[in-house]
Amino acid sequence: MNYAKKTVRDVDVTGKKVLLRCDFNVPQDKETGAITSDKRIVAALPTIRYLLEHGAAVIACSHLGKPKNGPDPKLSLEPVAVRLSELLGQPVLFAHDVVGEDAKAKAAALQPGQILLLENTRFEPGETKDDPALSKALASLADLYVSDAFGAVHRAHASTAGVADYLPAVSGFLIQKELEVLGGAISDPKRPLVAILGGSKVSSKIGVINNLLEIADTIIIGGGMAYTFSAAQGGKVGESLLESDWIDYSREMIAKAAAKGVKLLLPVDTVCADAFAPDAKSQVVKAGEIPDGWQGLDIGPETVALYCAAVADAGTVIWNGPLGVFEFPAFAKGTQAVAEALSKTSAITIIGGGDSAAAVEQLGYADKMTHISTGGGASLEFLEGKELPGVACLLDA
């Protein structure tokens, strides 16, 4: 996949109507609908400001949540328009439909320097079906398509990819940075490239493990998936998270790493608990020697030392998946120690995955990393080496 794509800086936006796909899929309070984090809106500001300052009329659009059967007032983007207006310090017009009469009229009347937000794109049944009729209707509102919704580029939907069949398409600054950093790390990494893979399940990371085995120099395994690897080596894992169906696969991965000369590091000790609970009783045991009734919830201190040493002289570190149940402070030590080690290396450090980003933020290391990907699912598919429809549809640089 080609990661070199044209950006808003490579085209003339002055006097143009720009359809800007954002990721305004913000978390909301279940009861009140209030926006609980405006991070994604803030992240879109640089591209929006650039376009407005360069004399474009911006028609922003996004999906929000998963409306089932058409419009659902609970999932209206109107509160996002209000917050966006506060952050931008200028009015944000709102269309009460996506490509209906209101959107058409307001888009037609929009002047350079003004911004309009369309209603939730998933209120249109054609959105998730990548229906050309919807793509065409969206395209007819504008002269240029700019995508800045990295969190949605793994989806081939009308507003994330289909619309690019009918308009010139370039990236905004968010996608540009993701492509530069993630794309660079995958296609031409500063070596040694160390991949840290954790999280809960092997099964959700098979694509990532497989692809990174092709390009990394070292692979570090932690988190719940480590116990399936341990079982593959004949270890006793007690009540730890174990995916019996993936033991053979894990064994194959160990063999593949050896054949390719990739260093594969597995935990040598583990912090196990007598229950899955924040205040569970815990003890440190050797990997593969977890007693019955106990479950591994974090990597142990010897493993921490081993893993911190392995990242110390890395050129690039890609991290996906927490190394323990970081949501419980007693079992966050492994994740925290490795985050600390990353904050001290001169390596390019890249965090992909929703929970991994949350862990690094919660533990206070967010501003110490080179890049924290803004797309959970999208960054995983990126690391899997898959073609992302929302990136592939953009003009090559």
- Report CA torsion sign: 342, 359, 282, 288: negative
CB atoms near residue 66 (< 10 Å): 10
User: Is 354 an active-site residue?
Assistant: yes
Whether 21 is catalytic is no
Q: Taking each helix axis from N to C terminus, what angle separates 39-53 and 78-88, rounded to the nearest 10 degrees?
A: 60
- Spatial separation of the C-alpha atoms in residues 343 and 370, rounded to whole Å: 9
Q: What are the angstrom distances between the C-alpha of 187 and each of 278, 338, 349? A: 40, 25, 15
Q: DSSP alpha helices (H): ranges in 272-347?
A: 301-312, 333-344
Of residues 184-213, those binding ligand ADP (CB under 6 A): 198-200, 204
Instruction: Determine, following the binding rule CB under 6 A, whether residue 224 of this chain makes contact with ligand ADP.
Output: yes
Output the smallest distance, CB 111 to Mg ion, in A.
42
Name the residue nearer to ligand ADP (CB basis): 47 or 373: 373
Which one is catalytic: 201, 236, 263, 286?
201
In terms of Cα–Cα distance, which of 226, 236, 218 is closest to 198? 226
Contact 170, 4 (CB under 8 A): no
Measured CA to CA, the distance from residue 239 to residue 227 in angstroms comes to: 10
Report how far residue 243's alpha carbon sits from residue 2's, in angstroms, rounded to the nearest whole number: 35
Establish if 389 lies at the interface with ligand ADP (CB under 6 A).
no
Site for ligand ADP contains 148 (CB under 6 A): no
Does 148 bind Mg ion (CB under 5 A)? Our answer is no
Q: Which of residues 325 and 350 has its CB atom nearest to ligand ADP in the complex?
A: 325
Q: How far apart are CA 90 and CA 74, in angstroms?
A: 25
Binds ligand ADP by CB under 6 A, chosen from 322, 375, 389, 390: 322
**Can residue 238 be called a binding residue for ligand ADP (CB under 6 A)?**
no
Closer Cβ to ligand ADP, 241 or 310, answer by number: 241
Tell which residue, 200, 310, 321, 332, has the closest CA to residue 264. Answer: 310
In this complex, which beta carbon is closest to ligand ADP, that of residue 146 or of residue 241?
A: 241
Using rule CB under 6 A, residue 347 touches ligand ADP: no
- The contact mask relative to ligand ADP for 276-315 (x = CB under 6 A, - = no) is --------------------xx------------------
Per CB under 6 A, does 151 bind ligand ADP? no
CB of 238 to ligand ADP, least distance (A): 11
The reply to whether 320 sits near ligand ADP by the rule CB under 6 A is: yes
Question: Is 324 within 8 Å of 332 (Cβ atoms)?
Answer: yes
Angle at 26 between CA 105 and CA 172, to 5 degrees: 65
CA-nearest of 9, 8, 10, 35 to 19 is 8
Residue 380 CB, shortest distance to ligand ADP, in Å, is 6
One of 119, 124, 243, 355 touching Mg ion (CB under 5 A): 355
- CB closer to Mg ion out of 240 and 320: 320
Active site residue 377: yes
Nearest CB to Mg ion, comparing residues 245 and 327:
327
CB 383 within 8 A of CB 212: yes
Residue type, 27: P
The answer to whether 381 contacts Mg ion (rule: CB under 5 A) is no
- Asked if 92 and 81 count as a contact pair (C-beta separation under 8 A), the reply is yes
Among 40, 106, 155, 333, the active-site one is 40
Q: Is 40 a catalytic residue?
A: yes
| Active-site residue list | 40, 201, 354, 377
Q: Which residues bind ligand ADP (CB under 6 A)?
A: 198-200, 204, 223-224, 241, 296-297, 320-322, 324-325, 327, 353-356, 376
- Residues of this chain that interact with Mg ion (CB under 5 A) are 354-355
